[in-house]
Structure formats: structure tokens, C-alpha cells
């Protein structure tokens, strides 16, 4: 297998599923990519964190599957409301890697729900409507990395929002119970062809630690556990109940990242949690972990360094970013930004979360020889990671 083919296949596994080989339990030490989101001015909010301004309701049509439909019929009924998602990923010079995922249409104007990890760190995102084959660019409107949910807006080649795309029928994830039959649908293996994976709900309200091939990890709570053969590429796709309604967003699986090997345990974000993120994004409300608007990028991947000097250790510098311009290098340890001490990778991400593209910040770091440096970085715009 050529190097190019190998890296392309690896990229599909990475972007298509956050955690094939997911563990359950405590969050292990992990690497965070600091292509972090900027908080925008929040919409008016009530004291409970909900939106005070009432949003127009999204369409929620009745499912089209007949009563007692089998898995294939359920998959066919949701097909018009599904897109495949393609993410261009950073690679060595001369190569472009493509990640694969799935998305669910929320409105006829091309509003799409997917996993954050499907688009995280990408240099560009496109989507293909499964039923018609129409191709769109995809703008990231907002996301919540703690729930692994992102909201996209499709646009045609002229930059216009589409019309007439059928929204998915959404169910009630609170009504899901252990033993219920479910069907996971998605772009398994990045083939562009929807696959159908029937299964059963085996547990509710689970907490998992999901880790990708690069060691990045996220702790997700409240997820639905299923026994179904979901695979890389299914991430962001719909989990259907027996009536054809979407009750969850496929997010992770416990098996090998080999695209040809089906998973065993799968995990899905409840649709109620996913729609809570979507409502905040639609309302322009950046609160807590929900980020709306353009993403501020420093341009480094970092991991937590616990020995002296403690801080965020750089493991990769992305070309063309602020980090490269101030000459950060792998092995450098970021210890302070402006007047804020950086104790670990998460602290750096949280700080960048509060900034916007074009903002200036002073980065302080130590190189591998212990020499101290500082420089002003002007954040650029990118996609979340």
C-alpha cells in the first residue's frame, strides 16, 4: 500500500469516528488541538442558561416508514434527510487527506447536525445529499465539544442556502429504554453509500472516554449504548427508533478502527442533548461549552506536561498559522498567555476559546533547553479541533 493510500485510509478512520477502541471510565491524559473556538457576544439569556428569545420551531415531520418496518425500510425512510460529510485534513506538503462522516438535516434550508469530531481540525468541509447527489460546501455555525455536536449550514456553489431539503423526523430520547430496537445509519467506511446497522439499546446515561488515533480524548456523558455494528464514517449519522424517528447521533464505537470491521458496542448522543446545542447555535448564544461564530486558531497541537516545566507542550505546529509565525516548535512548553498561567493543555484551549480571529495575545514559552521566549501572536480563523 502506498504512503498516500495509507494516510488517506487512516484519515477516514480518524475523522469518521472519534473513538474506535473507546474506553469507559476515567479520562486519561490526552492531547488537545488548540484550534479553539471564539466566544461571540451572547444572545439575551435567562438565568438558567436557556434562551430568553423564542426561536422559530424547526420542522419535525412524521416518519415515513410504515408500521412494523424492517431495518432496511427504516434506513430508506431517513435517506432523504441524510448527508455524507467530507473533511479536508492537514497533511504533509503535496497531500490532502479526506475524512468521512455523516450528518442529519434539520431544515429545508440545509441546517445539518453532526459530530464535532467529524469536522474538527479540517481545512474545509463539504457535504453530499445522499438522495440527490447534490454537493454543497458546509459552514460550521457552532459546536459543543463536550457533547461532540456541531451544527453546519450547507451552501451551493453560488454561496446560497438550499431549499426544499426534507428535515428528519426527530423522536424523544427520554422515551428510549434498554432493550429497544434501533437502527444506526451512516457513511460507513467513507464509501459515500449509506449502510444500515440494526441493533439494541443495552444501556443509558453512560459516561465514556473517547480517544482517536492521535491520542486526543474526550469525556462524554449521558450517551446511549447500543449493540450494533457501527463503523468509521457512521459518526454524525442518525440512530433511529422502531418508528424511523431520530433518537440519537452516532458518535463512537468500541471496536478496531479498521473500516472493514464492524463495531460491537456503539454510543450515541441523545437527540435531546444534540438539539439543545443546535438551539443555542441557532439563537447565537455562546454559553458555557456552546461556541457560536468564527473559530480563533493559534495553530498548535499540545499535550499536558506535568513535570518541570509544567504547561502545554507543543507536539505539532500547523503551517501558515500564528504559532508558526512566532516560531513555536515541537518540544516547546507554553507556560503563560498574556497574564494567565497555563497549567495544562486544557487551560490553553479554554483561554483560546475566549478569543476571536484577529485578536492579539502574548505567548510565553520555554524551549527544550530551558530558554524563555515570548512573542505576540495574532490569531487566525479556522475550524474547531
Cα 9 from Cα 189, distance rounded (Å): 9
What is the reported pLDDT for 356?
Answer: 80
Which domains does the chain show, CATH number per domain?
3-282 (2.40.10.120), 294-382 (2.30.42.10)
Quick one: average pLDDT of 171-181?
Answer: 95
Which of the two residues, 22 and 228, has the higher pLDDT score?
Answer: 228
pLDDT exceeds cutoff 80 at 291: yes
**Window from 91-95, 164-168, 258-262, 380-384 with minimum mean pLDDT:** 258-262
Instruction: Give the residue among 350, 314, 345, 308 at the shortest CA–CA distance from 331.
Output: 314
Which of the two residues, 288 and 266, has the higher pLDDT score?
Answer: 266
Express each pLDDT in 28-75 by its tens digit. 222 222 222 222 223 333 333 455 457 888 999 999 998 889 999 999
Residues in the chain: 385
pLDDT exceeds cutoff 70 at 20: no
Cis preceding linkage at 309, omega within 30: yes
pLDDT exceeds cutoff 50 at 211: yes
Instruction: Give the residue among 214, 248, 208 at the shortest CA–CA distance from 230.
Output: 248
Band of the pLDDT at 195, cuts 50, 70, 90?
A: very high
Express each pLDDT in 85-144 by its tens digit. 999 876 666 676 889 999 999 999 999 999 999 998 787 899 999 999 999 999 999 988
Quick one: average pLDDT of 327-343?
Answer: 95
Band of the pLDDT at 332, cuts 50, 70, 90?
A: very high
pLDDT exceeds cutoff 70 at 352: yes
Amino acid at each position: 500500500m502506498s504512503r498516500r493510500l495509507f494516510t488517506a485510509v487512516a484519515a477516514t478512520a480518524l475523522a469518521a469516528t472519534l473513538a474506535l477502541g473507546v474506553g469507559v471510565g476515567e479520562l486519561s491524559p490526552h492531547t488537545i488541538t488548540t484550534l479553539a473556538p471564539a466566544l461571540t457576544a451572547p444572545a439575551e439569556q435567562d438565568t438558567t442558561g436557556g434562551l430568553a428569545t423564542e426561536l422559530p420551531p424547526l420542522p419535525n415531520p412524521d416518519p415515513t416508514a410504515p408500521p412494523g418496518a424492517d431495518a432496511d425500510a427504516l434506513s430508506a425512510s431517513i435517506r432523504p434527510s441524510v448527508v455524507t460529510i467530507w473533511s479536508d485534513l492537514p497533511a504533509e506538503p503535496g497531500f490532502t487527506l479526506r475524512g468521512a462522516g455523516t450528518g442529519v438535516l434539520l431544515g429545508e434550508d440545509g441546517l445539518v447536525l453532526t459530530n464535532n469530531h467529524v469536522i474538527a481540525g479540517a481545512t474545509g468541509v463539504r457535504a453530499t445529499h445522499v438522495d440527490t447527489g447534490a454537493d454543497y460546501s458546509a459552514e460550521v455555525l457552532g459546536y459543543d465539544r463536550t457533547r461532540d455536536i456541531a451544527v453546519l449550514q450547507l451552501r451551493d456553489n453560488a454561496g446560497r442556502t438550499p431549499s426544499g431539503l426534507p428535515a428528519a423526523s426527530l423522536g424523544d430520547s427520554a422515551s428510549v429504554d434498554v432493550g429497544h430496537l434501533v437502527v444506526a445509519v451512516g457513511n460507513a467506511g467513507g464509501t459515500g453509500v449509506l449502510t444500515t446497522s440494526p441493533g439494541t439499546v443495552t444501556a443509558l446515561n453512560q459516561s465514556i472516554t473517547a480517544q482517536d488515533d492521535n491520542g486526543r480524548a474526550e469525556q462524554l456523558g449521558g450517551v446511549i449504548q447500543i449493540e450494533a455494528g457501527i463503523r468509521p464514517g457512521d459518526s454524525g449519522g442518525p440512530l433511529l427508533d422502531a418508528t424511523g424517528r431520530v433518537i440519537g447521533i452516532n458518535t463512537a464505537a468500541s471496536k478496531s478502527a479498521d473500516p472493514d470491521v464492524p463495531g460491537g458496542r456503539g454510543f450515541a448522543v441523545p437527540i435531546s442533548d444534540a438539539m439543545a446545542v443546535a438551539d443555542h447555535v441557532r439563537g447565537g448564544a455562546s454559553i458555557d461549552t456552546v461556541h457560536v461564530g468564527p473559530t480563533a486558531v493559534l495553530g498548535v497541537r499540545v499535550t499536558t506536561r506535568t513535570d518541570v516545566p509544567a504547561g502545554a507542550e507543543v507536539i505539532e505546529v500547523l503551517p501558515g498559522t500564528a504559532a508558526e509565525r512566532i516560531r513555536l516548535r515541537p518540544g516547546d512548553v507554553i507556560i503563560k498567555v498574556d497574564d494567565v498561567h497555563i497549567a495544562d493543555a486544557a487551560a490553553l484551549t479554554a483561554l483560546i476559546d475566549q478569543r476571536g480571529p484577529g485578536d492579539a495575545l502574548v505567548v510565553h514559552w520555554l524551549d527544550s533547553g530551558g530558554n524563555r521566549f515570548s512573542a505576540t501572536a495574532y490569531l487566525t480563523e479556522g475550524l474547531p479541533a
